[in-house]
Amino acid sequence: MMSQSVAPRKLSRIAAAASFGVCIGPCFDRAYAQDFYAGKQVNIVVANTAGSGYDTYGRLLARHIAKYIPGKPTVIVQNMPGAGSIKATDYTVNVAPKDGTTFTLAMPGALVEPLTGDPTKFRYDPVKIAYIGTMDSGTRMCMTRPGSTIRSMDDARKNRTVMAATAIGSSAYDYPNFINAVAGTKFNVVSGYPGPGDLFLAAERGEAEGVCGIEYSTYMALRPGWLAGDKKGNPLVQLGLDVNPRVTALGFPPIWDFIKPEDKPLVELIVSQQVFQRPFLAPPETPAAQLKVLRTAFMAVLKDPELLEEAKKSSIELNPKSGEEVEALVKKIYGAPKSLIDQMAMAIRP
């Protein structure tokens, strides 16, 4: 009888322990995060100039993400433009605190650049970076300013066309060069402008005919009038793995209409970076618990009704992907055949 009476009590204790065990991981994470982030300041480094499209995304996230981080820390934005966002990426990996209190919104070119450049010039390995997620997976476009005589890809194939760009490694620099290689255009890339707003100003001042490799959302934020209205610019081409119907309706034909079938794998490799068009990243040494908290908060805030309403009013495109998805794609890009990577390097660095 004693063994029969003890057995139920023992099973009850085991069940209770099992029930506690189910919660111990998540409960510990929440309690730890609450204790860790309470009273702290989280810094979001934006690797572009104030007022740029990237800055708009970074500040939108900063205004809302704290409510989804246990402990509700203060969140501020710090702008750190330079070298096509390589400066900010290097800072994130090598200088920034590695405790989950600092993460960076970089341009995808900074993550692809080490693939085609001299690896000894980079103090970070994109494959090892901790990715939090991307706010957008989008379409890039090339167009000329209102009033330009270069009005189509056929014109750009026949005439030398100056395109304003930021630094080497930025999409505004790499994309017109690779389009020259695969589509026979005659873009002449003039680099050195600080940020996207400066590119539009350069074109409007007559220093360049237009801009290339700029995201749809950046046009909408900085120059919506170039896309529609009395002072509409000239659409040349859209770039993305998939054709964007909204951009097509604005008159931008897809890059696939202008390339040879044998160049398709090369173009796919180059434009695949657009899947993580607004990537947020943290130091590789970020503790797993904090990275999990940030990844969870990131995906949650991008469903927040207030953020979504603000994004809608500001014409901000949101096509988020998780940190795990971004990490997998970066690894896939770096796993491409060397022959294809060499082709890519020649295309974007003529």
**CA 92 – CA 75 distance, rounded (Å):** 16
The span from the CA of 278 to the CA of 136, in Å, is: 5
pLDDT at position 9: 43
CA dihedral (147, 152, 158, 161) positive or negative: positive
- How far is Cα 113 from Cα 168, in angstroms, rounded to an integer? 9
Q: How many CB atoms lie within 10 A of CB 184?
A: 14
If one counts every other C-beta atom within 10 angstroms of the C-beta of residue 338, the result is 7
Does the pLDDT value for residue 3 go beyond 60?
no
CATH topology of domain 37-137+277-342: D-Maltodextrin-Binding Protein; domain 2 (3.40.190)
What's the CATH architecture for 140-272? 3-Layer(aba) Sandwich (3.40)
Q: What pLDDT does residue 241 have?
A: 92
Where do the domains of the chain lie?
37-137+277-342, 140-272
Query: How far apart (Å, rounded) are the C-alpha atoms in residues 160 and 235?
Result: 17
Q: What DSSP string describes 325-340?
A: HHHHHHHHHHTS-HHH
Residues comprising the chain, all counted: 350
> Exposed (0-12), middle (13-18) or buried (19+): which is 169, by Cβ within 10 Å?
buried
The whole-number pLDDT of residue 221 equals: 81
Residue 131 · residue 280 · CB < 8 Å:
yes
Which tens digits make up the pLDDT trace of 186-201?
999 999 998 889 999 9
pLDDT, one tens digit per residue, over 207-217 is: 999 999 999 88
Is the predicted pLDDT of residue 169 greater than 60, yes or no?
yes
- In degrees and rounded to multiples of 5, residue 162 shows phi and psi of -80, 125
Better-scored residue on pLDDT, 248 or 170: 248
Write out pLDDT tens, residues 247-278: 999 999 999 999 999 999 999 999 999 999 99
Q: Residue 88 in contact with residue 56, Cβ under 8 Å? A: no
pLDDT (0 to 100) of residue 53: 85
pLDDT in tens, 271-318: 999 999 999 999 999 999 999 999 999 999 999 999 999 999 988 889
Confidence of residue 61 (pLDDT cuts 50, 70, 90): very high
Given a cut of 70, whether residue 220 has pLDDT beyond it is yes
| Rg of the chain, C-alpha, whole Å | 23
pLDDT of residue 2: 41
pTM score over 0.75: yes
pLDDT of residue 178 exceeding 90: yes
**pLDDT attached to residue 20:** 46
Q: How confident is the model at residue 77 (pLDDT cuts 50, 70, 90)?
A: very high
Q: E-strand spans in 28-165?
A: 41-46, 74-79, 102-105, 130-134, 140-144, 161-164
Mean pLDDT of 51-57: 90
What are the residues whose beta carbons fall under 8 Å from the beta carbon of 290, sequence distance 6 or more?
A: 33, 36, 99, 100
The two domains 37-137+277-342 and 140-272 share their CATH topology (first three levels equal):
yes
Q: Give the residue among 106, 46, 109, 66 at the shortest CA–CA distance from 281.
A: 106
Tokens of 38: 């309470």
Cβ-contact 145, 154 below 8 angstroms: no
Instruction: Give the burial class of 28: count Cβ atoms within 10 A of its Cβ; 0-12 exposed, 13-18 middle, 19 or more buried.
Output: exposed
Which stretches of the chain are assigned E, i.e. beta strand? 41-46, 74-79, 102-105, 130-134, 140-144, 161-164, 187-190, 210-215, 234-239, 279-282, 321-322
Residue 187, phi then psi, degrees to nearest 5: -70, 135
